[in-house]
Structure 1
């Protein structure tokens, strides 16, 4: 009788342990897509840190680093250092990302500024409505509040 009474406890512990073991070893079996999302989060966090480390670097049209950048040059450089290759221009980067809503944005996602159907500027989302970007000639890489409602968001995959 004693063994029978403890059977649910033993089974629930074994079931929990088995589920945790399966999740640790083969997470994609239990949650398809979880590994790529974790990889994307890690990638974007690294890219964000790279962009922040370039604070104060001067803007130069067409520059892709390591000491001068234009807007898409900064995002290209930051993601390249994190291990992902992006296209060269802001529009091409927008076309390559997975488009997400403002409510889904996360730190490290790309923020695209647009006019009509054309993307003209890009930065890396830093949280709290701010981006790291290389804004224009005469300016430097800096953290700045998003100043426009005409933005779209993209996640690098």
Structure 2
């Protein structure tokens, strides 16, 4: 399985606690696929909404493909996600019941097909973000100290 990651949503891991992850296909036009292959994509501030029994990706920026500028696409248009019906119903139930949200964490190509990894997530409070930053700094310091002792 050849997997080529195009874009990741780093702020998602900082702003949300990730509970579950799903893999979804994405409906794209030809110029969007070519633009993705160039790596011209940004997932910041994007989210997934379920409407009419179908999942859509909003605010995902896929830049225009230069050679197809005249016939190009709208960079931030809503894009349909391809999920099984039972996955959509499960996500819809959890979002309505518990007040969770669905966010994309990365876009990648798997066996030549564009895929989106979406996650069921719960928003972090400000103090939780501070704790995560402290924990990361502490781990970095410990690794730095440990690395220095190995050289002696």
- Fold match by TM threshold 0.5: no
Is the radius of gyration larger for structure 1 or structure 2? 1
- State the TM-score, normalizing by the size of structure 1: 0.20
- State the TM-score, normalizing by the size of structure 2: 0.20
Question: Relative to total residues, which structure has the larger strand share, 1 or 2?
Answer: 2
Higher RCO (C-alpha 8 Å, min separation 6): 2
